[in-house]
């Protein structure tokens, strides 16, 4: 479970922003979006293959 401790005198908006960042790093929102609707197995494979291609191209550009 993600959570933050609100600091003394910290504005509410800044605390919400920190909380959303921790949720983003933990991958909570991506899990929610992933399970929002059914994805056919073929579509899931296609999405994963495309993600791997993008990652490989990005790493090649960086020179890794």
Per-residue pLDDT of the chain (64 residues; tens, 9 = 90+): 778 899 999 999 999 999 989 988 888 888 888 888 898 999 999 999 999 999 999 999 988 6
Distance CA(2)–CA(19), nearest Å, equals: 8
Distances (CA, A) of 58 to 33, 41, 47, 62, 64: 24, 26, 16, 6, 9
**Single pTM value for the model:** 0.49
The structure tokens listed for 56 are: 């490989």
Residue 30: per-residue pLDDT = 82
């Amino acid at each position: 479970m993600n959570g933050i401790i609100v600091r003394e005198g910290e504005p509410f908006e800044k605390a919400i922003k920190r909380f959303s960042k921790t949720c983003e790093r933990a991958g909570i929102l991506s899990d929610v979006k992933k399970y929002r609707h059914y994805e056919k197995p073929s579509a899931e494979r296609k999405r994963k293959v495309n993600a791997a291609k993008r990652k490989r191209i990005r790493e090649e550009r960086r020179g890794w």
